[in-house]
Chains A and B, each alone.
Chain A
Amino acid sequence: MSTLVIKDLHVSIEDKEILKGLNLTINTNEVHAIMGPNGTGKSTLASAIMGHPKYEVTQGTIEIDGENVLEMEVDERAKAGLFLAMQYPSEISGVTNADFVRSAINARREEGDEISLMKFIRELDKTMDFLEMDQEMAQRYLNEGFSGGEKKRNEILQLMMIKPKFAILDEIDSGLDIDALKVVAKGINEMRGEGFGCIAITHYQRLLNYITPDHVHVMMQGRVVKSGGPELAQRLEAEGYDWIKQELGIEDTDAVTEEA
């Protein structure tokens, strides 16, 4: 079992503090859902874990099995077992999807022990079939001209090929049609198990209908303000966030600005 521990995390972007002391612990074999209103720092958390160059961690720690993640370069974090399915994946012209995924797999292997081309192609074909992706997508340039939904599916393809210990899925359900949502959920469920833990950032219960979370956390104002089981997500779906705000005495900053 592996554990990802985030303690008292403070993160700024362009000198604006977004995360203000966030705590979260995830084990493999667990699925955690993170929900919360727009702009409360969910993507910031994901980016800070992965090491996005624009996000500055000013306080706190992130550790995988006791290893200090914050000292690692982005690629080292990936090799330590972290994976982020991004809300807005980059497009890279001239680099085929297949070449990229193969490089990513080989980056985890010793020189001289690269995955054989045949084995790679077999696995890629199989996984693309599983995700109901057109084989032609393998030879397309990485995310270039992909539709929103195709990009998300492609993130899951990479996830399944790379097999990380911890995946953070940032709104993997946004922009997906119903069938695509089922396919993506099928991919994530396929990964579930002993060696895999997952943080799914989402706004909607519908993803969680397919991927039942073990834990649900609510983020507001740069912190986790409430945690619970799957029933918490269901209540949020039904009632929204106001009850939590009232319960915790959180002022709606946006509303205040509007009134002023």
Chain B
Amino acid sequence: MTVETKLALSATEVRSFSQSNNEPAWFGSLRAEAIEKAAELPMPTPDKTNITKWNFTEFPQHTVESAPFSSLDELSADLKEIIDIEGQENLYIQRNNTPAFLKISEELKAQGVIFTDILTAVREHSELVQKYFMTEAVKVDEHKLTAYHAALVNGGVFLYVPKNVVVEKPLQVVFLNDNADASLFNHVLVVADTNSAVTYVQTYVSTVEESNGQANLIEEVIALDNAQVTYGSVDVLAKGFTTYVNRRGHIKRDAKVDWALGLMNDSDTISESITHLIGDGSLANTKTVVVGRGEQKQNFTTEIRHWGKNSEGFILKHGVMKDSAQTIFNGIGKIEHGASKSNAEQESRVLMLSEGARGDANPILLIDEDDVMAGHAASVGRVDPIQLYYLMSRGLSKAEAERLVIHGFLAPVVTNLPIESVKNQLTKVIEGKVR
């Protein structure tokens, strides 16, 4: 039986939205075709989580109007904490669906780096965007939600780093959600050309109590030969969103991607991060931490697929579950035929803080080649009473001892975030959640 899902916009509406944005014709057509596909394509089927009753399609309005920030002084104190106001040279802030602030250094401009909101990029760098937008990494017609995303993109970022350009300092993006009726169809497209290097760090912040909207987020990282991309994200979306987040890496010869993801949504969330190690000698490091609380249901699938020879993939996931949160962690290392001498390693650990919480770690290795290395470790457990005893024997209260053990457990990702202020933010968010 197929469940009839009602799409919020028609092809005509999507086209007229595109025209009102002055988007090039190809993008308007892409949207219109995508909405038609979305009507027909099936939903994705995340392993071990039944999403047939989740509402991914309905929302109050496609775009909301928000005021941009004329200066960073206007930011709330919470937001100012995330940003090194003086030191951060390259910064983009999106407020709900509105590009609200952009700063890019003269140096980067001179080097030909493009750093702008995605819809401006579609207009001003049309050819470059067309080449990579949902062509190599994520495809429009993978399932209903990818098609829906393509049709309704209403925000996001385009970052292009030209050949041989090494960007030393991290670029920062903040997606602020302060309107409960906002829906986020954000698309982040990072293209690191041959021999380039860049560090990108984004944060999702919801200040609303409860959202009525959708978050359908797709992020593509294309690393061409010998490029290096470090990609950090801290997601803190409010309860009420139905969140679908798809992070995809497409990594060419001798290129490398490091993902550091702090997935702290309070919404029900389906998250899939798949990195394709296309080229020989390519490498992916995926580090994820998750905290689940309340009645939250979440599914995190992390996959690294090896196509190139000598490719190396490392998946590390640490999750903390409390209250009656339910979380599935699927970790998949897949080595395709021909990807000889590759190495697929993964580790998933879940720490349960309450009786009512559920956490499953499912490590999967799929290997189609003989001459490879692979390994996995998975565990679901409680805070070790002997560790607590040790800490308490030095005078720490039980609560403080637990807090230290939990922070320690999540440290592998927190310490890997390349921007200090974002690191502190994640620590603070974790603090608030596990208390």
Contact = CB atoms under 8 A, between A and B. Distances in A.
Whether chain B is bound by chain A comes out as yes
Interface of A: 50-53, 73-75, 77-79, 83-84, 86, 89-90, 92-95, 99-100, 103-104, 107-108, 141-142, 158, 162
Between A50, A73, A74, A107, the greatest number of chain B beta carbons within 10 A of the residue's beta carbon is seen for A74
B393 A74 contact: yes
Given A75-B397, A86-B393, 6 more contacts: A50-B389, A77-B393, A86-B390, A89-B390, A95-B411, A100-B391
B410 A94 contact: yes
A142 B387 CA distance: 11
Interface of B: 384-387, 389-398, 400-401, 404-405, 407-412
Contacts of B392: 73-75, 78
B390 A73 contact: no
B404 A103 contact: yes
Contacts of A79: 395
Contacts of A100: 391, 394, 404
Contacts of B389: 50-53, 74, 90
B398 A94 contact: no
A130 B412 CA distance: 31
A117 B102 CA distance: 37
17 contacts: A51-B393, A53-B385, A53-B386, A53-B389, A77-B393, A78-B393, A83-B393, A86-B393, A92-B387, A92-B390, A92-B405, A92-B408, A103-B396, A104-B396, A107-B395, A107-B396, A141-B408
B257 to A, nearest CB: 24
B394 A93 contact: no
Between A75, A107, A162, the greatest number of chain B beta carbons within 10 A of the residue's beta carbon is seen for A75
Given A53-B389, A89-B390, A92-B387, A162 B409 contact: no
A90 B386 contact: yes
B404 A84 contact: no
A108 B408 CA distance: 22
Nearest to A107: B395
Contacts of A108: 395
B400 A103 contact: yes
B15 to A, nearest CB: 51
A104 B385 CA distance: 18
A161 B434 CA distance: 29
Contacts of B395: 75, 78-79, 104, 107-108, 162
A92 B404 contact: yes
A84 B394 CA distance: 8
A161 to B, nearest CB: 9
A12 B23 CA distance: 77
A74 B398 CA distance: 9
A104 to B, nearest CB: 4
B405 A95 contact: yes
A112 to B, nearest CB: 16
A158 B391 CA distance: 11
Nearest to B396: A107
Contacts of B410: 94
Contacts of B385: 53
Contacts of A83: 393-394
Contact of B408 (A52, A78, A93, A107): A93
Contacts of B400: 103, 107
Contact of B409 (A94, A103, A142): A94
B240 to A, nearest CB: 32
Contacts of B387: 90, 92
Nearest to A53: B385
Nearest to B407: A94
Contacts of A74: 389, 392-393
A107 B397 contact: yes
A43 to B, nearest CB: 13
Nearest to B412: A94
Which 9 A/B pairs are nearest by Cβ-Cβ distance? A94-B408, A94-B411, A90-B390, A78-B395, A74-B392, A104-B394, A107-B395, A95-B408, A75-B392
A108 to B, nearest CB: 6
A99 B393 CA distance: 16
A78 B391 CA distance: 10
Contacts of A99: 404
B280 to A, nearest CB: 34
Nearest to B394: A104
B408 A162 contact: no
B347 to A, nearest CB: 12
Contacts of A92: 387, 390-391, 404-405, 408
Nearest to B408: A94
A72 to B, nearest CB: 11
A74 B402 CA distance: 14
Contacts of B407: 94-95
Contacts of A104: 394-396
Nearest to A95: B408
B396 A93 contact: no
Nearest to A85: B393
A99 B395 CA distance: 14
Contacts of B390: 86, 89-90, 92
B404 A95 contact: yes
A51 B386 CA distance: 11
A39 B97 CA distance: 69
A104 B384 CA distance: 19
B408 A73 contact: no
A158 B384 CA distance: 21
Contacts of A73: 392, 398
A216 to B, nearest CB: 25
A77 B400 CA distance: 16
A158 B407 CA distance: 21
A95 B410 CA distance: 10
A196 B389 CA distance: 23
Nearest to B384: A90
A116 B166 CA distance: 40
A141 B412 CA distance: 11
A236 B297 CA distance: 64
Contacts of B391: 90, 92, 100
B401 to A, nearest CB: 8
Contacts of A158: 394
A79 B404 CA distance: 18
A36 B405 CA distance: 35
B412 A84 contact: no
Contacts of B404: 92, 95, 99-100, 103
